[in-house]
Copies of this chain bind each other. A is one copy, B any other.
């Protein structure tokens, strides 16, 4: 039942399957066959659409990144004032599709991938810069000159907490994560006002 216009559907299915499979295995040592089977097609078709396993993984990474970016924009749109913007950025990092077990585990593997693959490294840097830039932007009115430093610290904190959730045994707990980051941010900010 080959149909026309299947390409986007297939690609999407494969990306979702790749993330799910990586999440389930906990490693990048996932076979293309398994991913393809999970997506309901042959591995040959997967290659037809992505050219190589690596490209498929990159597409999956791009997908996670794109969704994360979209959610961030969406949250920022709703925010009123710097404090809310800050909260939005933190909250988005620990919620939505980006914080499901699958995605969290996938992230960990993208970190590893970024060590060898230039494209993956670039994608990662884009994500990091976007987050930092957004954090700086939100912090400027509140923290002034310290905004850059605080943004840097907040980003590290977010990554650290994210990592901990990725390695924990239970299901990731977004609320707890958010609170941890928020309380630190407030501490750093309140000190400023001294």
Contact = CB atoms under 8 A, between A and B. Distances in A.
A105 interface: yes
A112 interface: yes
Interface stretch (A10-18, A52-60, A70-78, A160-168): A160-168
Interface string A169-194: 10000000000100110111011001
A54 B149 CA distance: 41
A153 interface: yes
A48 to B, nearest CB: 11
Given A105-B115, A108-B111, A156 B153 contact: no
A61 interface: no
A159 interface: yes
Interface string A133-162: 000000000000000010011011111111
A194 B190 contact: yes
- A-side interface mostly: helix
A112 B114 CA distance: 13
Contacts of A180: 152-153, 156
Interface stretch (A25-33, A35-43, A82-90): A25-33
A3 interface: no
A186 B146 CA distance: 15
Interface of A: 25-29, 105, 108-109, 111-116, 121, 124, 128, 149, 152-153, 155-164, 166-167, 169, 180, 183-184, 186-188, 190-191, 194
Nearest to A159: B160
7 contacts: A111-B163, A115-B167, A153-B184, A155-B160, A157-B157, A158-B160, A160-B163
A28 to B, nearest CB: 8
B167 A160 contact: no
Contact of A191 (B158, B167, B187): B187
